[in-house]
Structure 1
Amino acid sequence: MTGTDVGAQGTGRRGLLAGRWIEHWDPEDPGFWQRTGRSVANRNLWASIFVEHVGFSVWTLWSVFVLFMGPEYGVDAAGKFFLGATATLVGALLRVPYTFAVARFGGRNWTVISGLLLLVPTVAAAFVLRPGTPYATFVVMAALGGFGGGNFASSMTNINTFFPEARKGGALGLNAGGGNLGVAVIQLVALLAIAVAGAAHPTLLLAVYIPLIVVCSVCAALFMDNLTSVRNDTGAFALAVTDKHTSIMSLLYIGTFGSFIGYSFAFGLVLQAQFGRTPLQAAAVTFIGPLLGSLARPLGGRMADRAGGARVTTWTFLAMAASTLLCILASAANSLALFTTGFIGLFVLSGVGNGSTYKMIPAIFRRQALERIAGGAPERVTLLRARRISGAAIGLISAVGALGGLLINLAFRQSFSATNSGAPAFWTFLAFYLACTVVTVAVYLRGPVIVHTGHQQVALARV
């Protein structure tokens, strides 16, 4: 075993309290990757997925709790949409400090901490979730659920650093898709709870998730590692903030992930408010969309690895516009079957788009690095810089993108308050998806970039 391989195994500083630190990490080196890199990266990936999965469940906990909140709670449909919007907003805002935390504390260490923080919203909810509790208290509890939303940014930032460029799409797709599945799973658990005990016992969900939080945090402590190459790397965030592609990709991610998380919070409420579904009837359907959307995310990443992220993203936005139009037509015809088909289609397509947009982010910064290398910049330093910036950009983009979930819930809240229908909100979403299509084509599908260096021309592939 070589000296660098010893570093990859993390035999330096190890232990549950001191942390597990890897001094050398070079996934782009084929020999390093085959000898030790792949096994270490995969071990970190699966432990990360577990914590992120539970985090998503906790984040969307109030999308389930509102289904249990009957007339005795005194909260109308608009108030319930606001609870979902509150959880979404706090989760989105927390993604920025959570991204910084990976560089400050180490990916493994922060995953353990962020996992244990999920005990705060779950234990607190167990004491207040009952009729007669003031609405303001429910808003605070929904805000605490935002702890689960922050996990995604730190998890994706961390996992991005473990895998080589050619495998990032699949790895990030699995990481995010496994996390997104937490939305569907908690809705399945809620369906089981309602079917067995009725809608009067929402705290049964907490009896499942509080122990699960402890288990996933322990797994992160046992099986994950920190990389010294990303510690104290706050300079990368300043570079990511000032790069125009961070802003552009944030807009596109609002359209994909923002749609996924926003619809995850809103689907059951829309079925109840617009089609008069009971809690059991709504819960029997709501898990299908997040489930299929989560499973589609790794597919979107792998499709982007093969066909290019921008191309997959473009077609995805066009298809999302078509599904939105189907929801509008179904609302006008009061067709529950057609509406459900269109809404689930939006989940699936947003999942595909989540995978393809995340593949685009490291590809964009790598292409910028190759342009600099073709112009004479040192290869190793330039590529490392690109990995640093793309990791920071992933966290920042995930934070802004999650705000799309806030906008969707606010749009539905206003739509139902004004017209008692979700149709006006869907018209807004349709226009936005078409705008995202135009942006993707204009910025990222213009053809290969030709770089001139000396007497040579170097063609860089599209993202």
Structure 2
Amino acid sequence: MTAPRTGGRWIERWDPEDETFWQETGRRTARRNLLYSVLSEHVGFSIWSLWSVMVLFMGPGYGIDAAGKFTLIATATFVGALVRIPYTFAVARFGGRNWTVFSALTLLAPTVAALVVMEPGTSYGTFLLVAALTGVGGGNFASSMTNINAFFPLREKGWALGLNAGGGNIGVPVVQLAGLLVIGVAGAGHPRILLAAYIPLIVVAAVLAATRMDNLAPVRNDTGAVREALRDAHTWIMSLLYVGTFGSFIGYSFAFGLVLQTQFGRTPLQAASLTFIGPLLGSLIRPVGGRLADRYGGARITLATFVAMAAATGVVITASVRSSLPVFLTGFVALFVLSGLGNGSTFKMIPGIFQAKALARGMGGEAAAAYGRRLSGAAMGLIGAVGALGGLGINLAFREAFTTSGTGTTAFATFLGFYAVCCAVTWAVYLRRPAARSGATADAAAKPQLTSV
């Protein structure tokens, strides 16, 4: 089944939709690759979200106000979103295992750079540059999801992609917990302890990927699939929905501690002791969102998630106006949990949508499955990149709100309106009667697939 090629271990034949193949060899190989993919992506998320923790170490001696700190974390978010596009296509060009090794090793650059510059007196421009470097950690998500998407059959993609992404997302609360430990034990003046701890973890992730993962030869660089995904309206509709779920998760994860410090006057230690809770719960529940989508349909779970996110945002706005920290924390943590559920359900929808299009065009069996894998793999990078830009939007909205009013209330009101738009789009495109749709996906044959995506 495997044959060596230049650059690493290659699997020549891969057909996860073949039940015999899957039971005999496919499942075991796919789950092994999933395990080490999660590890690499986990470390990548930790490095990408590093500045959500570093700003907690930046006391008055650094001379950077709240707006400047929001700009630092927004810069990391922005670069992480942009690099997701080339990272997606690198899997087909270089192989999933090969690119996982390379992408893990690139995490050394921002970590070592931060280790060198993290002290009072460093120029703000230098901090911005180092924050931008951490964006490479955001790219790991796109390549990892594209790679794992190819390993699993459609019937298990919700679970597999949810587990892969959830394990990666947990990198956010883990680095925040590690920051809490450093602040609690050594004090806010020792950020280099945290940075030094991640260097060996990066090396371990790269070594394990090199020795335990595989490349899939059938996954080829297909520029035609990219062009087709770019032209498909569903790519951009799902990008919008992913802005609402993942954009919320990563944006809130980066900004939570700074909001607690700025609006509620928490100390670095107090903020760090609360910051990790929301991202942790949101990460843990992401596979549950995928499982629920496998069972009840991704569109149904996604719509319910956006309705609940709108309600939770209303709670946060009320708490912000009344300066009630307990109520604020309740609503904010609920937003994390719901965004995690939505992350799992939206990514389950993507391969199902493209397979439904194949069925509507008269394809069947392996042809429809291959078409779905081909288009969904190309679309995932684009959707992931746009979704991550939602995190940038959240941080910029917070920056503007705190600059003009000193609270995040107006930012949350903006988010509430956006969740209402996401509710309307999900219902109109994926849950209305087939007669209300147009194009290939309106075919009655596609109806069962679209409502289960």
8 Å contact kept, 1:236–1:392:
yes
Provide the secondary structure at the position in 2 that maps to 1:230: coil
8 Å contact kept, 1:105–1:231:
no
8 Å contact kept, 2:356–2:446:
no
1:380, distance to aligned residue in structure 2 (A) = 3.2
8 Å contact kept, 1:240–1:246:
yes
1:229, distance to aligned residue in structure 2 (A) = 1.3
The 5 A counterparts of 1:387-402 are: 387-402=373-388
Structure 2 letter corresponding to 1:412: F
1:171 corresponds to 2:160: yes
In structure 2, the CA distance between the partners of 1:323 and 1:381, relative to structure 1 (3 Å rule), is same
Report Cα offsets for 1:133-182 as digits up to 9, x if no partner. Answer: 00010000100000100000000001000000000000000000000000
1:56, distance to aligned residue in structure 2 (A) = 0.1
Structure 2 letter corresponding to 1:98: Y
Provide the secondary structure at the position in 1 that maps to 2:361: helix
Q: Give me the whole-angstrom Cα distance separating, in 2, the residues matched to 1:95 and 1:126.
A: 25
Q: Give me the whole-angstrom Cα distance separating, in 2, the residues matched to 1:263 and 1:378.
A: 42
1:378, distance to aligned residue in structure 2 (A) = 6.3
1:216, distance to aligned residue in structure 2 (A) = 0.3
What residue is the counterpart of 1:433 in the other structure? 419
8 Å contact kept, 1:372–1:382:
no
What residue is the counterpart of 2:9 in the other structure? 20
TM-score by length of 1: 0.94
Q: How many residues align?
A: 445
**Gaps in structure 2 of 5+ consecutive residues:** none
1:234, distance to aligned residue in structure 2 (A) = 2.6
Q: Give me the whole-angstrom Cα distance separating, in 1, the residues matched to 2:353 and 2:446.
A: 14
Provide the secondary structure at the position in 1 that maps to 2:218: helix
In structure 2, the CA distance between the partners of 1:226 and 1:416, relative to structure 1 (3 Å rule), is same
Report Cα offsets for 1:178-204 as digits up to 9, x if no partner. Answer: 000000000000000001100000111
The 5 A counterparts of 1:57-456 are: 57-373=46-362, 377=363, 379-447=365-433
1:382, distance to aligned residue in structure 2 (A) = 3.8
What residue is the counterpart of 1:31 in the other structure? 20
Structure 2 letter corresponding to 1:342: G
Q: Give me the whole-angstrom Cα distance separating, in 2, the residues matched to 1:457 and 1:79.
A: 53
**Gaps in structure 1 of 5+ consecutive residues:** 1-6
Structure 2 letter corresponding to 1:179: G
Q: Give me the whole-angstrom Cα distance separating, in 2, the residues matched to 1:412 and 1:53.
A: 26
1:103, distance to aligned residue in structure 2 (A) = 1.0
Quick one: percent identity of the two aligned structures? Answer: 67
Q: Give me the whole-angstrom Cα distance separating, in 1, the residues matched to 2:132 and 2:247.
A: 18
RMSD: 1.5
1:448, distance to aligned residue in structure 2 (A) = 5.9
TM-score by length of 2: 0.96
Provide the secondary structure at the position in 2 that maps to 1:229: coil
Q: Give me the whole-angstrom Cα distance separating, in 2, the residues matched to 1:156 and 1:284.
A: 31
What residue is the counterpart of 1:3 in the other structure? none
Structure 2 letter corresponding to 1:443: V
8 Å contact kept, 2:305–2:338:
yes
1:457, distance to aligned residue in structure 2 (A) = 7.3
Q: Give me the whole-angstrom Cα distance separating, in 1, the residues matched to 2:17 and 2:27.
A: 11
Report Cα offsets for 1:350-370 as digits up to 9, x if no partner. Answer: 000000000000010011111
Report Cα offsets for 1:371-400 as digits up to 9, x if no partner. Answer: 122xxx464334312211101111110000
8 Å contact kept, 1:177–1:295:
yes
Q: Give me the whole-angstrom Cα distance separating, in 1, the residues matched to 2:45 and 2:422.
A: 26
Report Cα offsets for 1:190-229 as digits up to 9, x if no partner. Answer: 0000011000001111121000000001011111111111
Q: Give me the whole-angstrom Cα distance separating, in 2, the residues matched to 1:394 and 1:282.
A: 34
What residue is the counterpart of 2:35 in the other structure? 46
Q: Give me the whole-angstrom Cα distance separating, in 2, the residues matched to 1:303 and 1:140.
A: 41
Provide the secondary structure at the position in 2 that maps to 1:439: helix
